[in-house]
Structure 1
Amino acid sequence: MKSKNIIITGTSRGIGFEMVHLFANQGHNVLALSRNAQPVNNLHFENITSLAFDLCNGEDYIKVEEFIKSEWKHVDILINNAGTLLNKPFSETTFQDFENVYRTNVFGVSEMTRIVLPFMKQDGHVVTISSMGGIQGSMKFPGLSAYSSSKGAVITLTELLAEEYKETGPQFNVLALGAVQTEMLKEAFPDYQAPITAIEMAEYISDFSLKGNKYYNGKVLQVSNSTP
């Protein structure tokens, strides 16, 4: 397979960190973005660039744009993986709490996509990671009003972008994940043990990112064998 230029957000741990390994070992060029760049810096792959990046900081998007212009010229795949999970009763969830969750999970996805789109070709692929909690009609859980509603928002955003760019590309798809055993899940639900590991899900997402846009556009795929 021809080497691709791939941007992944949220790479300091969990699924994002594992995807960086997978793509790099396959010979692809990876731009790994996370507030903490150190874990990826320690990997020592020549085809990985790691930048300290905060989805809530407008100046950081300029760094990404400048990197693409100077180093790559184009992007083949964007994986919007970064997210924040808040488990808190709705009555205690403040305006600031909702804003913080949406700034990362929705506004960050929107702005990163907007910045990268001019560098993507017709066969490019934008993959956004959502959650089963964002699927209309799925089982919902107390405490996740901000998180799950934000994950529903990026599903609709993906459908809209696929429609808006259907004549020119790239393709847009969203994966609604079930429970995966990551640090983020453990922080929110300390006693829950998920049936899928981070590396197992990373393998699925990386493969879908490389090939899925041949078969899907503007679709949400439910990637879950359990509830939650």
Structure 2
Amino acid sequence: MPQEQPPEPRKRPRQQRSTMLVAAIQEACRQILEREGADNLTTARIAEVAGVNISSLYQYFPNKEAVLADVYDEIIDTLLMQARERFEELDRLSGQSLELTLAAIVDMEIAQLRELNRLAPDFYHRYQHRFDIHARIDELACSLDNPSWEAWFSRFLGCHRHRLRPGDIELRSLFVRKTLRANLRWAALEQPDLLGSGEFREELLSMLLAYLQYPQYPQQGRQAAD
């Protein structure tokens, strides 16, 4: 069964004047979300803040959700640019440190989800399949002839095979990626404040490292066992 998609704009601007009008509508939508909250977002309020006639808004957008979809597309584009820069850092770090690379990945995933969840969380959760940052990152990677996120992550773990418990690297990679995303999505939906918690971040990182690595016994315990 096809997943529900957000409303599309009625048409796209073709001239400079109409492009400026649509940009003003999008910016007004963001301002309302930032300053007044999603509960106060209406087409009438968007038109008022944008300084345009509401009939002009309806020329391009059938409802407020269509405007929101455009705003979220812009957010995704910004996150993609940031991810491209972060991946260069991650790639350099990946061969040096398991812990630091995994911490950087957790930080990046949290930052992306916080931004997507920040302005209109109900809208985002309803249409998160449309605004899937991971799918968009993979599309970008393929367009640049780079490995997918899944392939890169498996390669990263393979660089630290000597630090990991014995087992299938591909399967281990799958579990780590899915576990991280599932916990973050649960937090975004049920307890969004956790996404800003340093303790939550540390617990996530500790859980992933504990799953990947050999058990770390206290030194005294190891000596007693010897």
Same fold per superposition (TM over 0.5): no
**Larger helix proportion of the pair:** 2
**Larger strand proportion of the pair:** 1
Larger-gyration structure (1/2): 2
User: How high is the TM-score relative to the length of structure 2?
Assistant: 0.34
